[in-house]
Amino acid sequence: MNILVLCTGNSARSILLECLLRRLGDGLITTYSAGSQPAGIVHPQSIALLSAKGYDVSTLSSKSWDVFVDGDAPKMDAVITVCGSAASETCPIWPGVPLRAHWGVEDPAAVEGPDAVAAFQTAYAILHRRAAKFVAGDIAKMGRSELQAHLTACGNVA
């Protein structure tokens, strides 16, 4: 299963979920991430958090979702958006036929100062619970409508 995780800047939330789904999916899921307005760099706190948790961060990059529109790009089975609920935030919409789900999380990259580390830890924890619930389902055997319902339900995990 190919999953694309989308967000605006592709520097924090989408990167975190990309790594989580890759690890928890244990070879069942190939994950990618991108942004509608990529920051161009992965947020240093994303790198620090993921490194501390033993993830390989050497290949992570902030990139445009345009990379995945190309004819040579992998076909996506599902697209998950992780933009928060802030009204001013643009959340990308993916064209085509992949399943879609919204797992909104507030942007930890928007938090500065001493609360920044906690904001990243909170975003990671929420996304971890959602990703764990997703992979705990028998996703390889689910039909399209059942998988859509499962994706949607996982996005509601607090």
Distance CA 45, CA 19 (A): 14
Catalytic-residue membership of 19: no
Q: Which of 1, 73, 91, 116 is catalytic?
A: 91
Distance CA 79, CA 94 (A): 7
Q: Are 45 and 109 in contact (CB under 8 A)?
A: yes
Q: Which of 5, 7, 76, 126 is catalytic?
A: 7
Q: Which of 5, 50, 83, 101 is catalytic?
A: 83
Residue 40: left if φ>0, alpha if ψ -120 to 50, beta else—which one? left
Distance CA 151, CA 3 (A): 11
Residue 143, both tokens: 């039909």
Sign of dihedral through CA atoms 74, 148, 61, 29? negative
Catalytic-residue membership of 91: yes
Residues with a catalytic annotation lie at 7, 83, 91
